[in-house]
Structure formats: C-alpha cells, structure tokens
C-alpha cells in the first residue's frame, strides 16, 4: 500500500511555500522603497527581459492585462519604466526600464542577496548548487511537458464528440 500523500514532504508544496515566504519577506524588506509586490516583481522581470510586451509581462506575473496596464501607468508616472511602440506591431507596446529604476534595482538586489544569505545559512555551497541544479532540471521537465500538452491540444480536432456517442461509420 502506498504511503499517504503528505503536504509536509511534497516537493510542489514546499517549493510553493518557499516562494510565498520569499515574496512575503521581500515585500517587507522593500516596503521602505515604496514598492508594491506587483511593482517589484515587474521590475525584476523587466531587468531580465527588457522589451517584453505588456501582455507577455502580464502572463509572467499571472495578472490580467487591464491590471497590468494600470500597474505600468503608475510605474511610468514614477519614472521607473518606459513604453515604446513595438517595431513589428504598432498595436503592441514594449516595456523598458527607465534610468530612474537602476538605483531601485540595485537596492532590491542587495536586499534579495541578504534574504538569500539568511535563508541558506548553514547550507553548504555544494548543497546549494545541487538544489539549484535539481530545481532547474525539474523546471525544464515541466516546461517540456507543458509544451507537449500545448502542442497536443492545438493539434486536436475542435469537433469533440461525447464519449457515449456511437461511431456511425
């Protein structure tokens, strides 16, 4: 008989809980900069992928496009991001970091480094590397499964018959 499922020792629950704790700690540490979680997460994503469209950034942050528009409005008014027309699609807007965001990003990086240092206290560099390598492999596996599922779903017929329908051939 298989062992009962335990959320305490489940990789998915643990990774989710760690992400929640990191976000909550980061929120607290960035409060003095006047950044909301949505704002600092947007800045982090843009620092890794400038030129993202608002739609792509909304997908990454898992928020609705209208919410993203309002968020970017506030960030643009604060001087942290710039909107530029997409060269290949004038309906799309690409997002870039404004020079004013650089000191904020530097401070965010310093505080994130401090949090990670505290979180990994007592964990050897070798163990940290092994965890990162393992998590990266798991991420690659999930991305591959999702890509296959998306391709499979896109290739299936839109004409679906109920399972109890008889084949009339």
Read off the CATH number of the domain in which 84 is found. 1.10.10.10
Q: Please give the DSSP secondary-structure letter assigned to residue 31.
A: G
Tens digit of each residue's pLDDT (9 = 90 or more) over 108-135: 999 999 999 999 999 999 999 999 999 9
For the chain, the domain total comes to 1
In-domain check, residue 140: no
Is residue 122 in some structural domain?
no
- Per the CB < 8 A criterion, the answer to whether 50 and 42 are in contact is no
Would you report the helix, strand and coil content of the chain in percent, each value rounded to 5?
65, 10, 25
Cα(68)–Cα(54) distance, integer angstroms:
7
Is 155 part of any domain?
Answer: no
- Residue 118 resides in a domain: no
41 within a domain of the structure (yes/no): yes
Cα–chain center distance at 166: 45
Q: Determine which helix (DSSP H) or strand (DSSP E) holds 81, and give its type and residue range.
A: strand 81-86
- Quick one: pLDDT at residue 168? 41
Domain of 54? 36-113
Asked if the structure places residue 58 within a domain, the reply is: yes
Q: Is the pTM of this model over 0.85?
A: no
Q: Which of 26-30, 82-86, 150-154, 160-164 has the lowest mean pLDDT?
A: 160-164
Residue 84 lies in a domain: yes
Q: Which two tokens stand for residue 45?
A: 């994503």
Helices marked H in 49-124 — which ranges?
Answer: 54-61, 65-77, 101-119
| 75 in a structural domain | yes
């Amino acid at each position: 008989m298989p062992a009962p499922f335990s959320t305490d020792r489940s990789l998915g629950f643990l990774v989710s809980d760690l992400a929640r704790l990191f976000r909550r700690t980061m929120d607290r540490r960035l409060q003095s900069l006047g950044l909301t979680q949505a704002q600092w997460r947007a800045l982090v994503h843009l620092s890794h992928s400038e030129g993202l469209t608002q739609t792509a950034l909304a997908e990454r942050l898992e928020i609705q496009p209208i919410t993203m528009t309002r968020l970017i409005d506030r960030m643009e008014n604060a001087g942290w991001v710039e909107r530029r027309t997409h060269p290949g699609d004038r309906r799309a807007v690409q997002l870039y970091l404004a020079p004013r965001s650089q000191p904020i990003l530097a401070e965010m990086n310093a505080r994130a480094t401090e949090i990670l240092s505290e979180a990994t206290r007592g964990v050897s560099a070798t163990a940290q590397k092994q965890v990162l390598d393992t998590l990266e492999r798991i991420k690659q596996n999930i991305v591959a499964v999702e890509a296959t599922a998306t391709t499979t779903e896109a290739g299936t017929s839109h004409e679906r018959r109920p399972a109890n329908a008889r084949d009339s051939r």
